[in-house]
Amino acid sequence: VSLPVTTMKAAILVEQHRELTIDDVELPAALERGQVLVKVACSGICGSQLGEIDGVKGPDRHLPHLLGHEGGGTVVAVGEGVTYVRVGDRVVLHWREGAGLGCEPPSYRWRGKPLGAGWVTTFNEYAVVAENRVTAVPADFELDLAALFGCPVTTGLGVVRNDAALAAGESIVVLGAGGVGLSVVQGAVLAGASSIVVVDLYADKLRLAAELGATHVIDGADGEVEDALRAIVGADGADVVVENTGNVDLIELAYRLSKPRGRTVLVGVPSGDRPARIHTLPLHFGKLLTGSHGGDARPDVDIPRGIELYRAGALKLAELITDRYPLVDINRAIADLRAGKVAGRCLLEIAD
Ligand SMILES: [Zn+2]
């Protein structure tokens, strides 16, 4: 299946610790079996991409490459063997595997040389992705809201249900209220948590957390955060503590602050080499510590459920999008995100 477009604008990570380069990129000439061409309408930006730019996992052997792992778009062409989506379908682009065929990452070219890309990238006008990275949504479902299902919402709800197995009446503390943290709050509301306590450094984020259902919010800059938290959830700690920032001090706090038989879920990835120090004895007596991988979300199952929740009024989506930038301003968006100026999810608007 040959492609109806040959070039597109894209944001390219050329070197770590540098701004992204916006330039024209060549698409492959044809779709391979299992591939889908999507016109990307919008994309979220999340901590993972900042981590890739900062090299939190070490030197990047795949440079230069494209970025972005959560988006909403429209299917423009489908390769052989594709059965789950059709031309014209609105889809969520999700970094985790859903239903359908897998395939090799696409072969883009930039300035005459190969340009790396994973199974899904979204800081580009078009994306060639494996069928199992797209999930169709109803024809009238807004693509900006769809983009939220590509990472933060499915992760946040999955953290509560799959990683933390939060039961009705339990308490939860959420450290860091970005797109995922705010979605953890909504997941906790849906699960019937008794108290939902959110800690963040930014007043805008705390306000949004309270709007979405947090029962208590704490300014992390106010000295004795741990005391303040224990005063709310009890001296024993909380049933569940979710850490979204990757800050090692907060990872240690999260573990300390979960009850003797509580669950600590790490969502944020540490950005430095400093190891976390924890007292391991409680792990032998029922305390659980786990690192989340996207909340174990299954896009093909969880996105349709999320849309039903949204339609029933039980899940807020539009409120999560607080800032919008065109693709050409992506470096400004990233700078604002780093500076804590983005309260909810930052959305890149890529095409109409
Ligand atoms: Zn993400």
Give dist(CA 181, CA 20) in Å, integer: 26
Identify whether the C-beta of residue 127 lies closer than 8 Å to the C-beta of residue 69. no
70 CA → ligand 1 middle, Å: 6
> Which amino acid, residue 159?
V
337 CA → ligand 1 middle, Å: 13
30 CA → ligand 1 middle, Å: 28
Show pLDDT as tens, one digit a residue, over the chain (352 residues). 889 999 999 999 999 999 999 999 999 999 999 999 999 999 999 989 999 999 888 899 999 999 999 999 999 999 999 999 999 999 999 999 999 999 989 999 999 999 999 999 999 999 999 999 999 999 999 999 999 999 999 999 999 999 999 999 999 999 999 999 999 999 999 999 999 999 999 999 999 999 999 999 999 998 899 999 999 999 999 999 999 999 999 999 999 999 999 999 999 988 778 899 999 999 999 999 999 999 999 999 999 999 999 999 999 999 999 999 999 999 999 999 999 899 999 999 998 6
106 CA → ligand 1 middle, Å: 20
Query: Is residue 261 left, alpha or beta, with left meaning phi > 0 and alpha meaning psi from -120 to 50?
Result: alpha
43 CA → ligand 1 middle, Å: 10
Give dist(CA 71, CA 346) in Å, integer: 12
37 CA → ligand 1 middle, Å: 21
59 CA → ligand 1 middle, Å: 20
| Per-residue model confidence (pLDDT) at position 57 | 84
Q: What's this model's pTM, rounded to 2 decimal places?
A: 0.95
| Per-residue model confidence (pLDDT) at position 352 | 65
Give dist(CA 131, CA 101) in Å, integer: 5
| Residue among 149, 152, 146 nearest 48 (CA) | 152
296 CA → ligand 1 middle, Å: 13
Give dist(CA 210, CA 205) in Å, integer: 9
345 CA → ligand 1 middle, Å: 10
Give dist(CA 45, CA 166) in Å, integer: 27
45 CA → ligand 1 middle, Å: 7
| Per-residue model confidence (pLDDT) at position 113 | 97
232 CA → ligand 1 middle, Å: 30
Please provide the DSSP assignment of 71-102 as one string: EEEEEEEE-TT--S--TT-EEEEESS--SS--
321 CA → ligand 1 middle, Å: 14
